[in-house]
Amino acid sequence: MSTCKVVLKISLSVSFFFLFCFLSCPSYAIETDATLKRVFLLINNSLTTETPELWVHCQSSKGHDIGNRTIPVKDELSTIFLADPPGEPVYTCQFRWDPKKLDFNVYDKYIDTHCITAEGGVEEEKIPTISCYWHVVSDGFYMGTKDRIGEKFHDW
């Protein structure tokens, strides 16, 4: 038998072996991870116009630092990230509104359950998307939607 025929037989055997392994593997091994989700984190300065500036510094438990930001009145700070599992990575923000100061988690396992399913998204990606929308007002911090302040979570 020539060398070419031997190589061809071995190559076909190996190909069939890998095809068999691929087809017989459990379905969960080839599906996407069901816990992965895209998170839109938004912080809206809903304070009145005649107040001190709102200063914010946010960072994740995985080292993503949004940096020091001043959010103008009626404007927002936003970031997008992937969470896997839900609540990871944790995002913590420090808020300063002279003379008031407060630090807390703006995204974690508990907050994840209060975020809302976001509209749109890329259907082909099959990644669920949620929106965690915070409103900063003179008496505290609320979660809601872009147009609705919603439930109070923290006092100043």
Domain total of the chain: 2
Q: Are 27 and 89 in a shared domain?
A: no
Q: Is the pLDDT of residue 105 over 70?
A: yes
Residue with tokens 């609320």: 142
Q: Are 11 and 61 in a shared domain?
A: no
Q: Are 83 and 128 in a shared domain?
A: yes
Q: Is the pLDDT of residue 137 over 90?
A: yes
CATH of residue 117's domain is 2.60.40
| Contact indicator for 101, 10 with CB cutoff of 8 Å | no
CA gap 97, 154 in Å, rounded = 14
Q: Are 22 and 58 in a shared domain?
A: no
Q: Are 22 and 83 in a shared domain?
A: no
Percent of the chain surpassing pLDDT 70: 74
Reduced to 3 states (helix: H, G, I; strand: E, B; else coil), residue 7 is: helix
Reduced to 3 states (helix: H, G, I; strand: E, B; else coil), residue 154 is: strand
Domain of residue 126 covers 37-154
Q: What is the mean pLDDT of the chain?
A: 80
What b/e readout covers 73-96, taking b as 16+ CB neighbours within 10 angstroms? eeebbebebebeebbbbbbbbebb
Q: Are 83 and 100 in a shared domain?
A: yes
Q: Are 22 and 61 in a shared domain?
A: no
Q: Is the pLDDT of residue 50 over 70?
A: yes
Question: Residue 126: which pLDDT band, with cuts at 50, 70 and 90?
Answer: confident
